[in-house]
A and B are shown apart, each in its own frame.
Chain A
């Protein structure tokens, strides 16, 4: 096992053994079940994917993502456990990238789990499913990963400048709220904020697909993610651990 792989394995193990990370993963995954039970109780049929995504996407998933970013970076620096990796024969950029990959795996796995739970609930709760619908829904969850990844990178960047766990969480949440609120008052500014396109998955169910719009949004995600990632890496490389 080379050191970069070792770092990946370690980060995954450290994260998966965190009780609050796994508990929240489980709770978010079970939302489709909760929504199905509620809809059965009130006796109305709901579009499970739409309601789940509209509930998870704007608030729950960002909070979970900020928690992972804080856990992987700020918490490790605050408790000093980051020293256990930094004093090993491994370059800092490898540690940084392995943390990002591990977080991506967890976020992607969560989205896929929600998709799968929704599928199961549709199958057993409403007895409605089709192969075409299943693929379309899978695409929705897969493309949702990209804005969530950029949000994670933003939180990682913030984590390099903030020294406390609470501070990192609060600033990430405030900045996210600000990014969501500003376009309401200044619509033009919204064009330059990636958070304005968090629900781009709605474009992926159009027929035909609006390719040029999708391309420009994807470019914005790529550019924002790259900027946050590179600045975050620079700050992580320079960071002094006391």
Chain B
């Protein structure tokens, strides 16, 4: 196993409506492409937002590359790129300007890196157009480019294929595959599509009602059943238990 990229220990966050995430433990190693599955409201976005510092956990520890998110935020986030839930960008600025804003936070990003990121997500031709004129899929691509602009070692993608058409989904899958295999980038991805997860990830976890039920290697999990079947079994078993 490679270097530990992400170490989540006993993280809990309870919202006012009593939902949230409870006692989450998760460790990702360099090169992992980890898929987090779960129904709506399971706590995926809550976990992702805690990981990038948008909301604070009630308890628990999070470390990126050994740096604590609480005490060394800048160090911890230095090599992390993320796309959280809704794809956001400054609508009154162009795609290029949006990426220039992001790039300023990193010392070693040059104009050609920005061009490269735009080419990677297929927006180079429209780089000078305002984001407000973009389709939902194009906005999702600019959000992805924003996540990748820092040349990250670890990328967190919350629903990266939302709003994308089939071509877009395949492109995103190819980008993730290329970056993980060629550059050894670690990914933490959430998606509703078990099929996509099966194609992209090497490890998956199932989050249900705020608890991380199972984690496993995708090859082992899909030996006797598809990932979709595994996921449904997992959720239904726990849903029945919960009901009883």
A contact residues vs B (CB 8 Å cutoff): 1, 3, 6-7, 9-10, 13-14, 17-19, 79-81, 83-84, 86-91, 238, 240-242
* A80 CA / B74 CA spacing, docked (Å): 21
B92, A79: Cβ atoms closer than 8 Å: no
B contact residues vs A (CB 8 Å cutoff): 49, 52-56, 73-78, 80, 82, 84, 86, 88-93, 97-98, 101-102, 104-107, 146, 150
Closest-CB distance, B232 to chain A (whole angstroms): 29
* A88 CA / B91 CA spacing, docked (Å): 19
* A91 CA / B73 CA spacing, docked (Å): 7
Residue with the greatest number of chain B CB neighbours at <10 A, chosen from A1, A6, A86, A89: A89
A81, B88: Cβ atoms closer than 8 Å: yes
- A81-B89 contact in complex given A89-B78, A91-B74, C-beta closer than 8 Å: yes
Cross-chain contact of A87 among B53, B56, B98, B106 (Cβ < 8 A)? B53
* A81 CA / B80 CA spacing, docked (Å): 18
Contacts of B92 in A (CB 8 A): 17-19
* A125 CA / B93 CA spacing, docked (Å): 39
A87, B82: Cβ atoms closer than 8 Å: yes
Cross-chain contact of A84 among B53, B56, B77, B88 (Cβ < 8 A)? B88
Contacts of B78 in A (CB 8 A): 89
A14, B93: Cβ atoms closer than 8 Å: yes
The list of the 7 closest CB pairs from A to B, nearest first, reads A6-B104, A89-B77, A80-B88, A240-B55, A241-B54, A88-B105, A87-B52
Q: Tally of A-B residue pairs with Cβ under 8 A? A: 76
B54, A240: Cβ atoms closer than 8 Å: yes
Residue of B nearest to A88 (CB): B105
B102, A242: Cβ atoms closer than 8 Å: no
B53, A86: Cβ atoms closer than 8 Å: yes
B88, A89: Cβ atoms closer than 8 Å: no
Contacts of B86 in A (CB 8 A): 80
Cross-chain contact of A3 among B54, B55, B101, B105 (Cβ < 8 A)? B105
Cross-chain contact of B146 among A13, A84, A242 (Cβ < 8 A)? A84
B74, A79: Cβ atoms closer than 8 Å: no
Contacts of A241 in B (CB 8 A): 49, 54-55
Closest-CB distance, A191 to chain B (whole angstroms): 40
Contacts of A14 in B (CB 8 A): 90, 93, 101
- A242-B75 contact in complex given A14-B101, A84-B88, A90-B105, C-beta closer than 8 Å: no
Contacts of B77 in A (CB 8 A): 87-89
A13, B97: Cβ atoms closer than 8 Å: yes
Closest-CB distance, A140 to chain B (whole angstroms): 34
Residue with the greatest number of chain A CB neighbours at <10 A, chosen from B86, B101, B106: B101
Can you name 12 A-B residue pairings with CB atoms under 8 Å? A1-B104, A13-B93, A14-B93, A17-B92, A83-B84, A84-B89, A84-B102, A87-B54, A88-B105, A240-B54, A241-B54, A242-B54
B84, A3: Cβ atoms closer than 8 Å: no
Contacts of A9 in B (CB 8 A): 104
Residue with the greatest number of chain B CB neighbours at <10 A, chosen from A6, A83, A90, A240: A83
B54, A79: Cβ atoms closer than 8 Å: no
Residue of B nearest to A240 (CB): B55
Residue of A nearest to B50 (CB): A240
Contacts of B90 in A (CB 8 A): 14, 17, 81, 84
Residue of B nearest to A89 (CB): B77
B56, A240: Cβ atoms closer than 8 Å: yes
B101, A84: Cβ atoms closer than 8 Å: yes
Closest-CB distance, B109 to chain A (whole angstroms): 10
- A83-B104 contact in complex given A14-B90, A89-B78, C-beta closer than 8 Å: no
Residue of B nearest to A5 (CB): B104
Contacts of B104 in A (CB 8 A): 1, 6, 9-10
* A155 CA / B76 CA spacing, docked (Å): 32
- A79-B101 contact in complex given A17-B93, A241-B54, C-beta closer than 8 Å: no
